[in-house]
Chains A and B, each alone.
Chain A
Amino acid sequence: MQLVRRLAIASATMLVLFGIGLWLQDGLIEYVQRIVLLAGINVILAVGLNLINGTTGQFSIGHAGFMAVGAYGAAFFGVKLAPFVQRLVGIGAAADAVTLNIALLIGALLAGLAGLLVGAPSLRLRGDYLAVVTLGFGEIIRISFNNAQFLGAATGYFGDTPAGLPAYTSFFWVYGWAIAIVILIRNLTFSQTGRSLAAIREDEIAAEAMATPTTRLKVLAFSLSAASAGIAGGLFAYMQSGIRPEDFRFDKSIDMIVMIIIGGLGSISGAVVGGIFVAVTLELMRDLQQYRLVLYALLLIIIMLVRPEGLLGSRELSEVIRARFKRTKGPVEAAK
């Protein structure tokens, strides 16, 4: 029964996404479509990063590196894989969809492995030390791509044809993946594992005394977080004709951190809101040209002054709505 209900919900969601996707393709100019896709990719990045920075309280400032691993991995293997898939399925939308998703999974796997490699030794460190180590690893990853000849080195990777990477990424796939990742991470957060991660954030010594396998859980959260960044990277890669190492610089990591802090550290709905907020405001201010980043920074400062806990605080949207509901309902009940 449960399975049937879930399949029904999933199919309905997919149908709705597909419909919106078609409508967007016809109704909106390409520029706006791009912002919508970027917002979805940001959501994946923010929700993934929030698992380690928000829930577990281990500050990573090198997630652009994992996004890069996912982007290059998905792009490279997708390009190599496409001919085989086309031979099996035939050239067309089906082959594209299969190639994209296999490529994304490969990208996520590689990013997750990179997360494991970085996390296993460094998550024994606490606090600021971890931040510095992740920063260093992020840069190492980017510079490695900068020098990898078979991936186009500093010019970037554009696939094997002059046309560049195929434009597989669509509204349907970006938001399909975004919804799936939000649900999976939400489910993980509200489970014994999620509680243990939060316990590590709250008091690591007490968590250890309660038999929590702290290092193993931190590495797990870090890898999952890196894998999400990998998915986002893969979708990002197939959104444009090619990817360059400088797409994944340090400031990309900072962008991600801004998303989760603006949204409210530790809140999944906050990360969703923050991801969309950053994509939209950055684009809306594009007309301001050189003043854009100045104004953006100013906006961030204002938000932090007015709402230092972020737009949603550490609460989830459902809790905020419930609290509102209670408040408006309270006096009415009292009147009875």
Chain B
Amino acid sequence: MSLLSLQKVDKIFGGLRALKEVSFDVPAKAIFGLIGPNGAGKTTLFNVITGVYTPDGGAIHFEGQAIGGQSPAQVANRGIARTFQNIRLFRSMTVEENVMVAGHHLHQANVLSAMFRTRAHAADEARLQKHARELLEVMGLGKHAQDVAGSLPYGSQRRLEIARALMLKPKLLLLDEPAAGMNSQEAAELERQIRFLRDELGLTIVLVEHNMAVVMSVCETVHVVDHGETIAHGTPEQVKQDPAVLAAYLGKSTEDVA
């Protein structure tokens, strides 16, 4: 059964049709790659799924329920977490605080109980902190819990975004170019972590990525878009051979490539 399903999703910005009837299904516990040249509409797709944009046509279903047009907070509460292409951390806060922010569901006490420092508040804080620490360990950031998020190296910031997204206890994790700016060693570590999230935590992962080595290595299914339209869909091997994909990435004539 598919966890996330898009049917003929459209998004129009003024005169530009950024998404044209994009349809695909992401099965539960898949690692699903979304690729395409720059400006193909990959991030727009993420934004439509997570409620940043309202789709202008088509339907989006998550666990069988329509989510198109809901607010980002509503979508997040349903179990879809994301990272951002242009890293959006809470830069002046500590690494640990960044993760704790996403722990609303672990937080039960109300504002008054925080103001008067009741026991319920202390229990909340302890629970949030414990869970945040665990996730930082998973993403290999345990040592940096007290560092200021903005001071981390680029690759670590990307991993921190994933840790923060995990704090939402999502079922579906959308990663927008998680390997951007990483060297090959960091990228290999990221591949291992992505597999761990699926195998050990049972997450479904959709990733947008330009690093083809990463995509070909971790994804089971790849969906290719260009100019807002689906041009190919299949296993990494199939997609790699697809003439339309080669044309989109390298130019018109497929003979040159062969």
Contact B76–A210 (Cβ < 8 Å): yes
Listed stretches A152-160, A195-203, A238-246; interface member: A195-203
Docked pose: A195 CA to B111 CA in angstroms: 12
From residue B187, how far is it (CB to closest CB) to chain A in Å? Answer: 23
CB of B62, distance to nearest CB on chain A (Å): 14
Query: Is A187 close to B, CB under 8 A?
Result: yes
A192 touches B100 (CB 8 A): yes
**Distance between Cα atoms of A316 and B90 in the complex (Å):** 18
Identify which of A65-73, A120-128, A164-172, A211-219 touches chain B. A211-219
Given the interface contacts A207-B101, A210-B102, does A198 sit within 8 Å of B76 by beta carbon? no
Interface residue? B73 (CB, 8 A):
yes
Q: Which of B73, B90, B93, B119 has a CB less than 8 Å from the CB of A208?
A: B73
B88 touches A184 (CB 8 A): no
A314 B92 Cβ-Cβ under 8 A: yes
Give every chain A residue within 8 A of B77 (Cβ-Cβ): 211
Q: Is B73 a contact partner of A188 (Cβ separation < 8 A)?
A: no
Is A209 interfacial (CB-CB < 8 Å)?
yes
Contact between chains at A195 and B101 (CB < 8 Å)? yes
Q: Of B84, B114, B167, which is within 8 A of A191 by CB?
A: B114
Tell me the nearest residue of chain B to A213, going by C-beta.
B73
Contact B117 A196 (CB under 8 A): no
Q: Is the CB of A202 within 8 A of B104?
A: no
| Whole-angstrom CA separation of A291 from B89 in the bound complex | 47
CB distance A208 to B164 under 8 Å? no
Cα A188 to Cα B118 in complex, Å, equals: 12
Segment at the A interface, from B121-129, B193-201, B238-246? B121-129
Interface size on A, residues (CB 8 A): 27
The answer, yes or no, to whether B13 is at the interface (CB within 8 Å) is no
A200-234 at interface with B (beta carbon < 8 Å): 202-203, 205-214, 220
Taking CB atoms, residues of chain A closer than 8 Å to B82 are: 209
**Bound-complex Cα distance A203 to B165 (A):** 15
- Cβ-defined contact, B103 with A184, below 8 A: no
Is there a chain A Cβ closer than 8 Å to B97's Cβ?
yes
Min CB distance, A309 to chain B, in Å?
12
Name B94's closest neighbour in chain A (CB-CB): A195
* A208-B73, A210-B164, A210-B168 as given contacts; A203 in contact with B104, CB under 8 Å: no
Assembled-state Cα–Cα distance A184/B112 (Å)? 9
Contact A206 B115 (CB under 8 A): no
User: Could you mark each residue 60-90 of chain B with 1 if its beta carbon is under 8 Å from any beta carbon of chain A, else 0?
Assistant: 0000000000011100110001101000111
Give chain A nearest CB distance to B125 CB in angstroms.
Answer: 7
Distance of A18 Cα from B121 Cα, bound (Å): 32
Number of interface residues of B (CB under 8 A): 38
Q: Answer whether residue B52 sits at the interface, using C-beta atoms and an 8 A cutoff.
A: yes
- Contact between A210 and B114 (Cβ–Cβ < 8 Å)? no
**B164, A192: Cβ atoms closer than 8 Å:** no
The closest CB in chain A to the CB of B113 belongs to A191
| Contact residues of B between 114 and 145, Cβ < 8 Å to A | 114-117, 119, 121, 124-125, 128
Residue numbers in B under 8 Å from A33 (CB-CB): none
Across the interface, do A209 and B76 meet the contact criterion of CB distance under 8 Å? Answer: yes
Q: Is B17's beta carbon under 8 Å from chain A? A: no
Contacts of B124 in A (CB 8 A): 192
- Picked from B91, B128, B165, the residue with its CB within 8 Å of the CB of A192 is B128
Q: Does B227 contact A (CB under 8 A)?
A: no
Distance of A209 Cα from B172 Cα, bound (Å): 13
Tell whether A203 pairs with B90 under 8 Å between CB atoms, given A188-B115, A191-B125, A192-B100.
yes
Q: Is the C-beta of A193 less than 8 angstroms from some C-beta in chain B?
A: yes
Given A187-B116, A202-B93, A192-B73 contact (CB < 8 Å):
no
Complex Cα gap A67–B7 (Å)? 54
- Contact A203 to B101, CB < 8 A, known contacts A193-B114, A209-B76: no
A2 / chain B contacts, CB cutoff of 8 Å: 119
Q: Are A209 and B114 in contact (CB under 8 A)?
A: no
User: Given the complex, which residues of A lie within 8 Å of B105, measured CB to CB?
Assistant: 211
A 256-282 binary contact with B (CB < 8 Å = 1; else 0) = 000000000000000000000000000
Chain A residue nearest to B97 (CB atoms) is A195
Q: With the chains together, A212 CA to B75 CA distance in Å?
A: 11
Known: A191-B125, A193-B111, A220-B111. A211 touches B104 (CB 8 A): yes
Docked CA distance A220–B165 (Å): 25
- Structural contact, B73 and A187, CB atoms closer than 8 A: no
In the complex formed, the residue of B with least CB distance to A198 is B93
In the complex the two chains form, is A188's CB within 8 Å of B111's CB? yes
Give the complex CA separation of A303 and B36 in angstroms. 52
CB-CB contacts below 8 Å: A291-331 with B: 314
CB distance from B104 to the nearest CB of A (A): 5
Q: With a CB–CB cut-off of 8 A, which chain B residues contact A205? A: 52, 72, 88
> Nearest chain B CB to A209's CB is how many angstroms away?
5
- Cβ contacts under 8 Å, A184 to chain B: 115-116
- One digit per residue, 1 when the CB lies within 8 angstroms of any chain B CB and 0 when it does not, for chain A 112-144 equals 000000000000000000000000000000000
> In the complex the two chains form, what is the Cα distance from A208 to B128 in whole Å?
18
Residue from B73, B101, B128 whose CB has the most chain A CB atoms within 10 Å: B101
Interface residues of B (CB under 8 A from A): 50, 52, 71-73, 76-77, 81-82, 84, 88-93, 97, 100-105, 107, 111, 114-117, 119, 121, 124-125, 128, 164-165, 167-168
Q: A-B pairs with the 4 shortest C-beta distances? A: A191-B114, A202-B90, A211-B76, A206-B88
Sample of 11 A–B contacts (CB below 8 Å):
A188-B111, A188-B115, A192-B101, A195-B97, A202-B92, A203-B88, A209-B52, A209-B81, A210-B165, A211-B76, A211-B77
